[in-house]
A and B are shown apart, each in its own frame.
Chain A
């Protein structure tokens, strides 16, 4: 048996969307994180909930990247591919490295399975050009049945445990301690201990199978953790981290948290997560439509809550009118846009960054609105907190952008202590203004004061019609409208945001890579690779997009070459060109619904570097 010491390894679990690949992947990442490995995950699931069994369209994947050092992405290609059936092998093999180990369930490669997966012959490995020496072929279904034959479980329940056999096999391959997986299952199935024990038995069987039969065939990988940041951690997806950020902000501000929402992929998990936490006083209303989701949040904001509405691009289209109402009424609101592929219904389960210009401009009238974007699954927590603070302290709707990749991906999350986070102080009307206050009086930051219903003496009417700056009454006065428009804009422009950070060769980079939001990991990994090859490269990644960091122009103009890389046709580049005089960057644009490939980025950036 050969033991490979590796810096990082990528494993991809794939099977039918009902095969439990997400669960197997999740447990494996938790097990790895527990030993201190850095992790990054990427679930890649089909739009169909249950496509016909064994069909090419029904394949669901879960990729996890574990590393001794910090890993920034789930990895381009995998070192180990688990293919639970013929269709999975057919569709997922393209994500495997040329020397990847491939685990297949030979029981799912019968003539019918091969036909469904559109193989032409029975020599499926030959058809795909796969070297049989790289394949761990095991009759997985048979072995699971055998393992659980005395369990008293029915055939269907037994078949559901197949994923755990694959997990056991992978755990063996990576020399993982199974206890963590066992504890995970015992907790997950606390109410069904017999299911937990059955799964545990199967994991052990998978592990033992690997140990006994394949020790001469495959490699065993060892990933030693190098730079540990001590602390307590949990695995968290971007959507869950976003929900946690809102909860934390509401607690910090001493407000109720209200979510008005309508289910939409890939944002729904935020609704699910927040709906669980009634014991924290969180109220979620699953509304009749996207419009009501946002409108009800505006109502909740008026009533004094931290109001949030969550959606994806198509929902933003529908919410934009109510978002604009919050703009003119100057009420706090956080609008979460978990971006997916568009336009229209587009690619519901895939990831893009194509809503940026919609977020910045997609409303009638002069409608300035802060836009922030999360860079990673765990950063969703930070940005949800920051967006909430910004909304509450500046009395404005704020758009928080994430994307399907960041929302569904996960990372190790160092448990935050709220004591380390800044206070959130909404600008409630000071008592001394009693008797002279009008609704559009502003504080020194140009922010309208907040008078929450229930407070005697501050009764007032807000609305979607333009109001007089002084009296708060409806006004069509041309000078006043011009003034109010400017005041609303000035208020947003004046919001303080952190400076743009430059990573890598910040003093002498030949090329500055620029991106925003969920591509951070890939751009960072590409920069690292280029620097490892001796190139001078830096990365400036935007999390605050409106207003832009104060040093934006300075950073963008500092380097000989700049490339803006984004998963759209150049929306951030357009925004930066609008905001920074004379800025003409190179662009790298890709709209495939899939994360960037680091190797492709490295190649493209090298070309830019080499061009005179």
Chain B
């Protein structure tokens, strides 16, 4: 059965006008329709925060749970019923501050979850405190003189937790967002999608360099596996290797040429280069940065169940009892 985005849509979102969440939600509806998993076989699980309101606008199964625990709750849901397609939605506070532990362990275990990280680098629902992705020195209500701490870089955290999939999109870029969401679905295992998203009220302009189409043309690079890493309005820039590092260079001014431009390898087991790509400040890497196959936790759990079932002789409670040392007391 074919679905349309209307089959996944429900209710009237209550986010501020202009909030990046509106854009993302629309892309998620469309991506789900293109993926075509029935709403009844889909569970959308969020924590707490502005973006975690999202399940209420889904016509699927779902839960808007408690702060930080979305990944842990999604883990139990997926392991208990691996037939469900589970989307876990968190903001940068929910996913990386209070829920940081669950984020890294869901990645390490490689649970087959599509993990959405809506990153606006601010706490919106509590009205404007810095988040674990706010840059050092960031001035907010809880840091009037600037923060004195470094932020997490989500890709680095994901890779550090042995994550096998990381993609990035800008909320206002519907095609780019839909593309990474579909890739996340197609990847078996924990798939982290960082969605760069603007908070119009408390952190307006945080992703300005890439928020508009024109901005992205200048300041972003769309990575595609197996393709040369080119960017710029006329593909006049490319990513090349220099020593142990990579850098963005002009390939039209003579020093570097098309031949020097690296081909993106999202499937490479070693994440060294993928990490460097994810952490570039200019251009900002978008698209699927890492997409490596690995056994998923939920598959392995149920596979082990089958293996043990085949090996052990007891398959119900009565048979389990018989595996013990039993004695008989007679009359």
Q: Which A residues fall within an 8 A CB radius of B?
A: 30, 33-34, 36, 180, 183-184, 187, 225, 228-236, 244, 247-248, 251, 256, 258, 260, 277-281, 283, 285, 287-289, 291-292, 295-305, 307, 321-322, 324-325, 329, 415-418, 453-465, 473-474
Instruction: Let me know if A325 and B66 touch, CB within 8 A.
Output: yes
Given contacts A285-B76, A292-B75, A461-B62, whether A234 and B56 have CB atoms under 8 Å apart is no
Closest A residue, CB atoms, query B70: A295
A131 vs chain B, min Cβ distance (A): 37
CA distance A459 to B83 in the complex (A): 15
Instruction: Let me know if B81 and A304 touch, CB within 8 A.
Output: yes
Q: Which of B311-331 contact A (CB under 8 A)?
A: 311-312, 314-318, 320-321, 324-331
Q: Which B residues fall within an 8 A CB radius of A?
A: 11, 38-41, 43-45, 48, 55-56, 58-66, 69, 72-81, 83-84, 101-102, 104-105, 301-302, 304-305, 307-309, 311-312, 314-318, 320-321, 324-331
Instruction: Let me know if A463 and B84 touch, CB within 8 A.
Output: no
A251 vs chain B, min Cβ distance (A): 5
Closest B residue, CB atoms, query A249: B317
Instruction: Let me know if A296 and B72 touch, CB within 8 A.
Output: yes
Chain A residues with CB below 8 A from B312, complex form: 278-279
Closest B residue, CB atoms, query A277: B320
Closest A residue, CB atoms, query B61: A453
22 CB < 8 A contacts A-B: A228-B331, A232-B329, A234-B326, A251-B316, A251-B317, A278-B312, A279-B308, A280-B316, A283-B80, A295-B69, A299-B63, A300-B79, A302-B61, A322-B66, A322-B69, A325-B65, A416-B321, A456-B40, A459-B59, A461-B63, A463-B56, A464-B66
The CB with the most chain B CB atoms within 10 A, among A229, A300, A325, A329, is that of A300
Would you list the 3 A-B pairs with minimal beta carbon distance, nearest first?
A299-B76, A296-B76, A463-B64
Question: Which among B43, B63, B69, B327 is the interface contact of A34 at CB below 8 angstroms?
Answer: B327
CA distance A54 to B31 in the complex (A): 67
Closest A residue, CB atoms, query B60: A459
Question: Which among A225, A277, A298, A418 is the interface contact of B318 at CB below 8 angstroms?
Answer: A418
Interface SS, A side? mixed
Instruction: Let me know if B325 and A30 touch, CB within 8 A.
Output: yes
A255 vs chain B, min Cβ distance (A): 10
CA distance A247 to B81 in the complex (A): 18
B265 vs chain A, min Cβ distance (A): 31
Instruction: Let me know if B327 and A461 touch, CB within 8 A.
Output: no
Instruction: Let me know if A244 and B80 touch, CB within 8 A.
Output: no
CA distance A230 to B327 in the complex (A): 10
CA distance A187 to B324 in the complex (A): 10
- Other A-B pairs beyond A258-B76, A298-B76, A322-B73, 4, CB < 8 Å: A299-B73, A301-B76, A322-B69, A453-B40
B95 vs chain A, min Cβ distance (A): 14
Closest A residue, CB atoms, query B75: A296
Question: Which among A281, A321, A416 is the interface contact of B66 at CB below 8 angstroms?
Answer: A321
Instruction: Let me know if A299 and B72 touch, CB within 8 A.
Output: yes
Chain A residues with CB below 8 A from B311, complex form: 279
B6 vs chain A, min Cβ distance (A): 14
Instruction: Let me know if B304 and A278 touch, CB within 8 A.
Output: yes
B75 vs chain A, min Cβ distance (A): 5
Instruction: Let me know if A278 and B59 touch, CB within 8 A.
Output: no
Closest A residue, CB atoms, query B327: A34
Instruction: Let me know if B64 and A299 touch, CB within 8 A.
Output: no
Instruction: Let me know if A288 and B105 touch, CB within 8 A.
Output: yes
Question: Which among A236, A244, A279, A288 is the interface contact of B102 at CB below 8 angstroms?
Answer: A288
Chain B residues with CB below 8 A from A34, complex form: 327
Chain B residues with CB below 8 A from A462, complex form: 62-64
Chain B residues with CB below 8 A from A303, complex form: 43, 76-78, 80-81, 84
Chain B residues with CB below 8 A from A301, complex form: 76, 80
Instruction: Let me know if A459 and B40 touch, CB within 8 A.
Output: yes
B40 vs chain A, min Cβ distance (A): 4
B302 vs chain A, min Cβ distance (A): 8
CA distance A459 to B309 in the complex (A): 33
Question: Which among A283, A285, A456 is the interface contact of B38 at CB below 8 angstroms?
Answer: A456
Closest A residue, CB atoms, query B77: A299
Instruction: Let me know if B11 and A280 touch, CB within 8 A.
Output: no
Instruction: Let me know if A230 and B73 touch, CB within 8 A.
Output: no
Instruction: Let me know if A283 and B77 touch, CB within 8 A.
Output: no
Closest A residue, CB atoms, query B14: A474
Chain A residues with CB below 8 A from B43, complex form: 302-303, 453
Closest A residue, CB atoms, query B83: A454
Instruction: Let me know if A258 and B69 touch, CB within 8 A.
Output: no
Closest B residue, CB atoms, query A299: B76
Question: Which among A229, A288, A299, A453 is the interface contact of B329 at CB below 8 angstroms?
Answer: A229
CA distance A183 to B74 in the complex (A): 46
Question: Which among B59, B64, B83, B320 is the interface contact of A465 at CB below 8 angstroms?
Answer: B64
Chain B residues with CB below 8 A from A325, complex form: 65-66, 69
Instruction: Let me know if B328 and A232 touch, CB within 8 A.
Output: yes
Chain B residues with CB below 8 A from A459, complex form: 39-40, 59-61
Instruction: Let me know if B65 and A464 touch, CB within 8 A.
Output: yes
Question: Which among A30, A180, A247, A291 is the interface contact of B320 at CB below 8 angstroms?
Answer: A247
Given contacts A291-B72, A474-B56, whether A453 and B81 have CB atoms under 8 Å apart is yes
Chain B residues with CB below 8 A from A456, complex form: 38, 40
Instruction: Let me know if A231 and B329 touch, CB within 8 A.
Output: yes
CA distance A229 to B328 in the complex (A): 10
Chain B residues with CB below 8 A from A244, complex form: 317, 320-321
Question: Which among A251, A295, A329 is the interface contact of B72 at CB below 8 angstroms?
Answer: A295
Closest B residue, CB atoms, query A243: B320
CA distance A465 to B314 in the complex (A): 44
Instruction: Let me know if A285 and B79 touch, CB within 8 A.
Output: yes
Chain A residues with CB below 8 A from B84, complex form: 303, 453-454
Instruction: Let me know if B79 and A296 touch, CB within 8 A.
Output: yes
Instruction: Let me know if B40 and A454 touch, CB within 8 A.
Output: yes
Chain B residues with CB below 8 A from A285, complex form: 75-76, 79, 301
Closest B residue, CB atoms, query A456: B40
B202 vs chain A, min Cβ distance (A): 21
Instruction: Let me know if A291 and B305 touch, CB within 8 A.
Output: no
CA distance A376 to B63 in the complex (A): 38
Instruction: Let me know if B326 and A232 touch, CB within 8 A.
Output: yes
Instruction: Let me know if A280 and B317 touch, CB within 8 A.
Output: yes
Instruction: Let me know if A455 and B69 touch, CB within 8 A.
Output: no
Chain B residues with CB below 8 A from A474, complex form: 56
Question: Which among B56, B80, B304 is the interface contact of A256 at CB below 8 angstroms?
Answer: B80
B93 vs chain A, min Cβ distance (A): 16
